[in-house]
Homo-oligomer: A and B are copies of this chain.
Amino acid sequence: MTVSKMSDIDQPKRVPPMEAAPEYAALQMGELSELLGYSLKRAQLKVFEDFLRCMAPLQLTPAQFSVLLLLDHNPGRNQTEIANTLGILRPNFVAMLDALESRDLLTRMRSPNDRRSHVLTLTDKGGATLTRAKKLVATKHEARLIELLGPANHVALLGMLAIIAQDF
C-alpha cells in the first residue's frame, strides 16, 4: 500500500487542529483546575501552538528558534554545550542541527583547538532569519500574551516560571 502523503508545495507542515466545541454538557473539572501541572501543560500547549502559528512564515519550531537565539549570543560553542544548555540530549541534537544546517541557517566547523568538536555558527541567512523571527515573536506572539495578562502579570508569570524551572 502506498503512503498517501499529500505533499503540497509550501504549506506549513503542521497546522494545529482546531478544537470544536463539544456538544455534550460541560464536565465538572473538580480539583483538576487547582492542579498546577495540569494547567501548566495545557497552557504550554496553547503557547507553543500560537508560537508555531506566528512563526509559520519562517518555519521555525520553538526548539529551533531557541537554538538560533543561543548561537547568536554564544558564538564559538560546540554541540554539546549548546545542547546541554537547552536540555537537549546530544544524540537528538544531531538531526536537529542537520535540518538547520541543510537550510543554511548555521554551519558546523571542526574546531582547530579540539578536532573532535564542531563549532556552531549562525550563517548570514541564519542571522537574518533570527532577526525576523524575534520580530515575529515580539509583535505577534508575546504581544498577544501581554495583552491577555497585562504587562505586570506577564513579568510576574515569567519570574515564577523561571523559579520553578530552576529551583523546583
Spell out A's residues near B (CB within 8 Å).
1, 6-7, 9, 11-12, 15-16, 18-20, 22, 24, 27-48, 50-51, 62, 66, 69-70, 72-74, 77, 81-82, 84-85, 87, 134, 137, 141-142, 144-145, 148-150, 152-154, 156-168
A156, B158: Cβ atoms closer than 8 Å: no
Given the complex of chains A and B, what is the CA–CA distance between A59 and B160 in angstroms?
28
* Copies held by the complex: 2
Contact sample, A vs B, 15 pairs, CB 8 Å cutoff:
A1-B34, A11-B159, A12-B163, A15-B158, A19-B166, A27-B70, A27-B82, A28-B70, A31-B69, A33-B158, A35-B137, A36-B142, A42-B165, A148-B163, A153-B160
A43, B159: Cβ atoms closer than 8 Å: no
14 new A-B contacts, CB < 8 A, other than A40-B44, A43-B161, are: A12-B156, A12-B160, A22-B84, A27-B70, A27-B85, A30-B69, A30-B70, A31-B134, A33-B162, A36-B154, A40-B43, A40-B161, A149-B164, A156-B156
